[in-house]
């Protein structure tokens, strides 16, 4: 889509500002590649940070969990949240310990989440969550029944107050350290799917679906 988010006083990257990214497509690519977000919020003066699954629909994040979850019970009261997603792409080995780093891509989204009450939107949000993790699986699985829907809370968070931060490339050492006799460089890291393992109670006549055989987290922004 090629548009930029406008940084606010809360989302403008101050430290290492050259790593800031406000491009919508870049933000969405990071969100779409991630598996888990961390949801930060404060209840009665106590901060909490909870990891959970998520899905994206345009400029909206969907977060889900059990209706019995303390996080979701409290966030239904329209508590401000901070949602973060981080991807680590490599370990950066410099010549000095101080200059060691990581290559990474991260997103921070601020806002107030609302509970999804409309049954049709709730079902669509669950589909988005499923397709975010494993595209193609929703159509081949039993859909949630009424009891399961009641036991699940879906929160919707607009992706409007947001920024990303990206570090790429080789180590950056101080000039005098480039002569120090040690190996320097980058150890790339990536999520690689192994061979699917069939459930022992699964019919052996059912083939492994293509989305499981060729699973990958790389995808483009919508």
What are the residue ranges spanned by the domains of the chain? Answer: 17-186
Please list the alpha-helical segments (H only) found in 111-217.
119-133, 146-150, 210-213
pLDDT at 133: 92
pLDDT at 1: 45
pLDDT at 151: 85
- Residue among 155, 65, 153, 74 at smallest CA distance from 109: 155
First-residue to last-residue Cα distance in the chain: 8
pLDDT at 220: 47
CA 78 centroid distance within chain = 21
Dist CA 41 CA 35 (whole Å): 20
Residue 27 Ramachandran class (φ > 0 left, ψ -120 to 50 alpha, else beta): alpha
Dist CA 119 CA 198 (whole Å): 33
pLDDT at 117: 85
Strand extents, DSSP E, 33-189: 36-43, 46-56, 60-66, 80-93, 101-112, 114-115, 152-158, 161-167, 185-188
Tokens of 36: 């888990």
pLDDT at 71: 65
- Residue among 162, 65, 79 at smallest CA distance from 114: 79
CB 155 within 8 A of CB 76: yes
CATH 1.20.1440.60: does it fit domain 17-186?
A: no
- Mean pLDDT split into 10-residue runs, the chain, 222 residues: 80 86 93 93 87 92 76 69 96 97 97 89 93 93 90 90 96 95 96 92 94 80 47
Dist CA 136 CA 130 (whole Å): 9
Dist CA 24 CA 60 (whole Å): 12
pLDDT at 203: 94
Tokens of 16: 């290492």
Strand partners, 64: 154
């Amino acid at each position: 889509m090629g548009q930029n988010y406008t940084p606010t006083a809360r989302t403008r990257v101050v430290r290492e500002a050259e790593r800031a990214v406000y491009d919508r497509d870049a933000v969405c690519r990071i969100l779409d590649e991630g598996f888990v977000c961390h949801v930060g919020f404060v209840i009665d003066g106590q901060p909490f940070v909870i990891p959970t699954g998520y899905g994206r629909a345009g400029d909206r994040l969907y977060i889900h969990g059990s209706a019995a979850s303390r996080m979701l019970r409290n966030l239904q009261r329209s508590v401000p949240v901070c949602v973060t997603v981080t991807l680590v792409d490599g370990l950066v080995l410099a010549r000095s310990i101080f200059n060691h780093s990581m290559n990474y891509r991260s997103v921070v989204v601020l806002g107030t989440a609302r509970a999804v009450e409309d049954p049709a939107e709730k079902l669509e949000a669950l589909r988005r969550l499923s397709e975010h993790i494993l595209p193609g699986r929703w159509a081949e699985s039993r859909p949630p029944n009424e009891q399961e829907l009641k036991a699940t809370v879906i929160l919707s968070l607009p992706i409007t107050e947001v920024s990303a931060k990206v570090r790429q490339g080789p180590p950056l050492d101080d000039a005098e350290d480039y002569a120090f006799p040690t190996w320097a460089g980058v150890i790339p890291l990536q999520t690689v799917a192994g061979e699917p393992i069939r459930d022992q109670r699964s019919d052996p006549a059912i083939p492994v679906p293509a989305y499981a055989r060729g699973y990958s987290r790389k995808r483009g922004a919508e």
